[in-house]
Amino acid sequence: MKNKTYNKKKVLVVFLAAVTVILGLIGRLCYLMIFDAEYYQKKAEALHEREREIKAARGEIVDRNGTVLATNRTVCTISVIHSQIKDQERVIEVLAEELELEPKVVRKRVEKVSSMERIKTNIPKEIGDKIREYDLAGVKVDEDFKRYYPYETLASKVLGFTGGDNQGIIGLEVKYEKYLKGQNGMILTTTDARGIELDGIAEDRIEPVPGNTLQLSIDYNIQKYAEQAAQKVMEEKQADGVSILLMNPQNGEILAMVNVPEFNLNDPFTLTEEFLAANAEKQPAADTKDPEKKQELLNQMWRNRCINDTYEPGSTFKIITSSACLEAGVVKLDDTFQCPGYRMVEDRKIRCHKVGGHGTETFVQGVQNSCNPVFIDIGLRLGVDKFCEYFKQFGLLDLTGVDLPGEAGTIMHKKENIGAVELATMSFGQSFQITPVQMATTVSSLINGGVRVTPHFGMGIVDREGEKLEPFSYPERKGVVSKETSATMRTILESVVAEGSGKNAYIEGYRIGGKTATSQTLPRSANKYISSFIGFAPADNPQILGMAVIHDPQGIYYGGTIAAPVIRDIFDNILPYMGIERGPVSETKEEE
């Protein structure tokens, strides 16, 4: 009896344990089916779904008139799905032949067990279509986009280029990446347990969203003509490079920015012959075989000298010194000076470019003659404190804010290290360095009535019809100088072109203002020079400011002789194009 009761208890315990386990399993199953159903459904779908990305078309870049400067070409990506291949040898044979790849390279990728293996990207559409016609099981041909630049070298160091993933690398392509990149789409297909796509089940598509169209302030025609002018003077003077910047001084819109030698945007990783020739002394040809040294050369080739490099501005800086001294009241237009051909500052003899000197001259004549002793005198009158104060007020210690990456800052003495000699040399543009875009921007503020504008390329985002969807705005700062000082500077600089050292920039019927410069690069013992000219028109109401910088010209290297004519020729062609008409010819010029 006792055993019977004991056995009943054992059976009951086992029964209850079994019921508990079963109830636990039922509870767990209910939980999975009700509360975790969505999670496991997604897991199951993931096992039977294959995803293929559809790349979005990158937004186009157009000039101010709608001319397309950067667009896309349809290319193809060839991939294989290992589990779906039926005739492996045929697939290897066709892909090796059509894609011009080694059979062993193709075989390695085809035989790799993976959900999808890419064979080659950026294939011309014609080849992709041809492979599609073979109808090979397991071979996928997906259409893609590759960046294409219709004008190849035009504004190459401004536009920049994209990488293999269609992402911006340098220039405006990377600056405006968020507007241009778009949003990729997706193709979803259903497969069985072996990874073979199931017939009769429609594929899902998430359509890509193309990038926005970016409109620039650049004018294709002006940019093209400026590049031709830069190329011409570079060849004539056998220079290392030539930079040209054309902008509207009233609002900061950049109409053209040239840095020759340019490079081919459709083949940006190939060093150009022009670049190698210009840098032959510094970089032996053998360096192109070393990957690290080649990358250094590519970085140099891609540099935008207007933005990324600093230089001693030389006599064009006299525009800034003159404006500061007039604003501070330390000089008047009819003040007279003596120039014996040099000026002694402490124990240092600082020479004028005219060895015999200019003799007696007024301040205006000193500007016309680009006379160093005159500027030494007024610089010393201004003093270190005021000089540094105006240097800051004019914005020279800040970046311009131009919408290109990598803008270099001004290289300037610390205030406590500026003595009489340093102040003297700084007054005519030596012993410190700024960028060309900084120089152009600062001069713009001194001739436009005293407004510091932000130089820029991006005007806004537009739709396919060219209507603005999102215009860009840029900060301005008024009161850099008084309107009276600005008007005086326009008059003085017009006289520099009409009667002084900038006469080679004169155009009959147009009122042109400007200033020449010739500066020596460091080290001085190398005897290398930078010739430059900055000019604007019309002188009474400037609508365009142009700057030419010629790096290490051979032979005659004076800015007034070789840089001023470059801006003259450009202005002569583009001023009528811009709708700026010629005025009556002055009597002085008629007599000459």
Please list the active-site residues: 315
Q: What is the rounded CA–CA span in Å between residue 482 and residue 494?
A: 19
Number of Cβ atoms within 10 Å of the Cβ of 548: 31
What span, in angstroms and rounded, lies between the C-alpha atoms of 229 and 546?
Answer: 13
Counting Cβ atoms within 10 Å, is residue 196 exposed (0-12), middle (13-18) or buried (19+)? middle
* Contact in structure between 363 and 496 (CB atoms under 8 Å): no
Single-letter amino acid code for the residue at 47: L
For 207-218, b/e burial (b = at least 16 CB within 10 A) is ebebbbbbbbbb
Show Cβ contacts of residue 170 under 8 Å, excluding neighbours closer than 6 positions.
157, 160, 161, 302, 405
Number of H helices, E strands in the chain: 21, 19
CA–CA dist 120, 95 (Å, integer): 10
Signed CA dihedral, 333, 338, 344, 350: sign only: positive
Cβ pair 259, 233 in contact under 8 A: no
Do 257 and 547 touch, CB atoms closer than 8 A? no
How far, in Å, CA of 277 to CA of 265, rounded? 19
Contact residues for 168 (Cβ-Cβ < 8 A; gap 6+): 160, 161, 162, 174, 175, 176, 177, 180, 181
State how beta strands 68-80 and 61-62 pair: antiparallel
Non-local CB neighbours of 98 within 8 Å, separated by 6+ positions: 127, 130, 131
Q: Measured between alpha carbons, how far is residue 396 from residues 217, 414, 441, 452 in Å?
A: 24, 14, 9, 11
How far is residue 405's CA from residue 160's CA, in Å, rounded to a whole number? Answer: 10
What's the rounded Cα separation, in Å, for the pair 2 and 279? 108
Cα–chain center distance at 57: 21
Q: Are 50 and 186 within 8 A, CB to CB?
A: no
Q: How far apart are CA 394 and CA 323, in angstroms?
A: 10
In Å, how far from its chain's centre is CA 150? 18
H-helix or E-strand containing 247?
Answer: strand 241-247
Tokens of 518: 């010739």
DSSP string, 367-426: HHHT-HHHHHHHHHHHHHHHHHHHHHHTTTTS----SSTTPPPPB---GGG--HHHHHHH
